[in-house]
Structure 1
Amino acid sequence: MLVAYDPIFAHPLPEGHRFPMVKYELIPAQLLREGVITSEQLHRPVPLDEATILLTHTYTYWQQLQQLTLSEKEQRRIGLPQSAALTLREITICQGTIDCALHAMQHGVALNVAGGTHHAFADRGEGFCLLNDFAIAANYLLHHRLVKQVLVIDLDVHQGNGTAAIFEGKPDVYTFSMHGAHNYPFHKEVSDWDVPLPDGMNDEHYLRTLSDCLPVLINQVQPDIVFYLSGVDILETDRYGKLKVTAAGCRQRDELVFNTLKQHGIPCAVAMGGGYSTHVRDIVNAHCNTFRAAAEIWG
């Protein structure tokens, strides 16, 4: 099992923006301490090349990121102050997701400690997302004719609006988003299949809904690869999630996705997405559960 990680994931932000970014340091440390992974499984991506970025994002927007010329309004929409370090972090994360996809196609599964930047559009960033790593990785695989059909399973509590917009009208990437109906973004884009969830949804209802959707997705899309966004902001402890899913329920969600994909022989590249519980230990434990489940199911 390959785990994409780079220390830069945790260090480009000003102090006031560090929480919960500290999770990017704590997750691999916890996994190593438990023996879920070894240091040999940690992979440090190199920064992504421009040609691959431009398969997904506009040249004008990429120049704004390179030259640090985003307006104050554009930076507020992203929610982070622009910096060269932040752009470097983002392109490193995106290469990590490509590397995970390539590894998963050979070995079944690979996980990016970061990623899941699904609010980034082709021409702008939003919601702490500068570049869309799933879109970039999917377009890379399609451009190099490594796959014909991609499925994005986005289970972050927030709709994958950027991903939906990027792939609108593009049948070779099917976007599925199961998210809080009354949560950010308040203007939703149209995925191929959106499942809006009511506030206060518990484990039983959440898992039943997902269980009903997964077989339909697999049979209808018949993907060559799945990009799975395993956000843990569905937790009842999350400050913004509005759902009532327990840590055990969140792990069952991951197991349900992984077991389904393994049974059908579909490779899976995973990114962590969001998590904003009051206590960082809740965030880290839930994310680590995703890695634990992958290690157990793929062996």
Structure 2
Amino acid sequence: MVQECRDAPQERTYSWAGMPRTDPPPPHSAEKPMVTSPKQVSDYFYPGNAGGAAHDHALQAALHWVLLLGRRPVRSFVTQLQARAPPPAPSAMEACVLRRPCLLHPSHPSRCGVASRAGRAGCGMPHATQLYQHVPEKRWPIVYSPRYNITFMGLEKLHPFDAGKWGKVINFLKEEKLLSDGMLVEAREASEEDLLVVHTRRYLNELKWSFVVATITEIPPVIFLPNFLVQRKVLRPLRTQTGGTIMAGKLAVERGWAINVGGGFHHCSSDRGGGFCAYADITLAIKFLFERVEGISRATIIDLDAHQGNGHERDFMGDKRVYIMDVYNRHIYPGDRFAKEAIRRKVELEWGTEDEEYLEKVERNVRRSLQEHLPDVVVYNAGTDVLEGDRLGGLSISPAGIVKRDEVVFRVVRAHDIPILMVTSGGYQKRTARIIADSILNLHDLGLIGPEFPCVSAQNSGIPLLSCAVP
């Protein structure tokens, strides 16, 4: 909730992005000083940010438009956003009704970070969802929807991320005759009820501000779009990918493996987005499994994107059920020191790390991770921004090295008969789509995935899945 400026001698309202806004207090107000620099807002959204020049430049460009060029309604929003009062802690009754481990909000330890509907009947029973549906055996556990791709008047070209790479991956797989439309699982959009399993309602409400979405996606012109367009053209594709990750989690347990061709939004936590990540799909997939699949109570996240996965790390801080292995360039965005405390096996890389060193560290640490914590499911964040020439990743892994990396992870995990869910995460070059497709083809050629692959799951071991229609 935006707090009103009580000391303003005269208030004037504007209609910006379809919503009324109020002028900030006058510049001489000592109680709530005017925000006048991009650095101030950057610090608000990314406290302690220690790196990531390219991310910073995109954010600086957006803030330059709205702060230094006199966009007064947006100035008002940012100033009042900073002045918000901390949210109230949940009551004892709400904590009782939740009846699940409560992850603490990093800045407000009394506040539940992974929230659910406190008033839900049945005291902690999961809500009804359209994401846990039966999938015919003829369909492979590869999840995709044409709605993954972000296209709107060329705005997607203003970010180095290839916002259409997911469709290109599927097209390459079709060209190689590995898949057809009838073999894919169609992803469904995550509903608000689904998102509230992890996200706070306050954060979801903040996404109704175009400024907030522009900051998260690092696409400056999004600031000036009506939010209904932002919801339809930017956030709906991301919600569909998020639904795809949740669906793939169930499929991985049923079939032994699953791939969401999108997803991997590892910078988003329950109450904060960033780095093109608006929804915490990895956290959601794991929480759905914990709540809905009996026998799934331990998970491992293997995050091999070039960036630190600070979103899921903040969400699972202190949760012993979830083991996090993170391999990343230590010099780049987000540099989240607080989130690093949640990493159980941390591998920090230097600029320009190449194949031999990288693959040796990946294989050794994946093996040790599974020795230290044998999970019921593995979520593999297979970012391709480690590719040589990626200006945001800063590493030098060849295309063949990425294909080999994915093979190593699948081979080691499958040797332990553990279900594995793969999401594609970051990758900022046009050729990453071809590399992802080549990796999937390689996994199939080696017999690590495929319709004939034996199921090792809770379902075929006699452990039932809860019905998706549980009220």
TM-score by length of 1: 0.92
Is 1:294 paired with 2:443? yes
Match of 1:93 in 2: 241
Q: 1:74 to 1:285 in 2, by over 3 A?
A: closer
Q: Distance in 2 between matches of 1:62 and 1:16?
A: 23
Instruction: Give the aligned residue type for 1:118.
Output: H
Q: CA deviation at 1:115?
A: 0.3
Is 1:267 paired with 2:423? no
Is 1:36 paired with 2:188? no
Q: 1:69 aligns with which of 209, 216, 233?
A: 209
Is 1:228 paired with 2:380? yes
Q: Distance in 2 between matches of 1:60 and 1:134?
A: 20
Q: 1:133 aligns with which of 274, 281, 303?
A: 281
Task: Identify which of structures 1 and 2 has the higher relative contact order when contacts are C-alpha pairs closer than 8 Å and 6+ apart.
Answer: 1
Instruction: Give the aligned residue type for 1:114.
Output: G
Match of 1:51 in 2: 193
Q: CA deviation at 1:14?
A: 4.6
Contact in 2 for aligned 1:5/1:96 (Cα 8 Å): yes
Q: 2:255 aligns with which of 75, 98, 107?
A: 107
User: Higher helix share goes to which structure?
Assistant: 1
Q: 1:64 to 1:12 in 2, by over 3 A?
A: farther
Contact in 2 for aligned 1:262/1:298 (Cα 8 Å): no
Secondary structure of the residue aligned to 2:241 is helix
Q: 1:269 to 1:14 in 2, by over 3 A?
A: farther
Match of 2:231 in 1: 84
Q: CA deviation at 1:13?
A: 4.5
List gaps (5 residues or longer) in structure 1.
Answer: none
Instruction: Give the aligned residue type for 2:209.
Output: T
Q: How many residues align?
A: 293
Match of 1:218 in 2: 370
Is 1:208 paired with 2:357? no
Match of 1:177 in 2: 326
Per-residue CA deviations over 1:171-228 (Å, capped at 9, x if unaligned) read 1121211001111113342123221111111111001111110111111111111111
Q: 1:13 to 1:291 in 2, by over 3 A?
A: farther
Q: Distance in 1 between matches of 2:288 and 2:334?
A: 27
Q: CA deviation at 1:38?
A: 2.6
Secondary structure of the residue aligned to 1:110 is strand
Q: 1:2 aligns with which of 111, 118, 141?
A: 141
Secondary structure of the residue aligned to 1:175 is strand
Q: Distance in 1 between matches of 2:152 and 2:426?
A: 16
Q: CA-atom RMSD, angstroms?
A: 1.7
Contact in 2 for aligned 1:132/1:163 (Cα 8 Å): yes
TM-score by length of 2: 0.60
Percent identity reads 29
Contact in 1 for aligned 2:206/2:212 (Cα 8 Å): no
Per-residue CA deviations over 1:246-278 (Å, capped at 9, x if unaligned) read 11111110000010111111111111111112x
Q: CA deviation at 1:12?
A: 4.7
Match of 1:192 in 2: 344
Contact in 2 for aligned 1:230/1:273 (Cα 8 Å): yes
Contact in 1 for aligned 2:242/2:280 (Cα 8 Å): yes
Secondary structure of the residue aligned to 1:298 is coil
Identify the range of structure 1 (50-59 vs 204-213) with the bigger mean alpha-carbon deviation.
50-59
Q: Distance in 1 between matches of 2:181 and 2:322?
A: 33
Match of 1:15 in 2: 154
Q: CA deviation at 1:148?
A: 0.6
Contact in 2 for aligned 1:254/1:293 (Cα 8 Å): no
Q: CA deviation at 1:64?
A: 2.8
Secondary structure of the residue aligned to 1:174 is strand
Match of 2:315 in 1: 166
Contact in 1 for aligned 2:216/2:277 (Cα 8 Å): no
Contact in 2 for aligned 1:12/1:89 (Cα 8 Å): no
Q: Distance in 2 between matches of 1:171 and 1:51?
A: 26
Q: Distance in 1 between matches of 2:148 and 2:347?
A: 30
Contact in 2 for aligned 1:151/1:174 (Cα 8 Å): yes
Q: 1:77 to 1:93 in 2, by over 3 A?
A: closer
Instruction: Give the aligned residue type for 1:28.
Output: I
Q: 2:298 aligns with which of 149, 166, 170?
A: 149
Identify the range of structure 1 (13-22 vs 194-203) with the bigger mean alpha-carbon deviation.
13-22
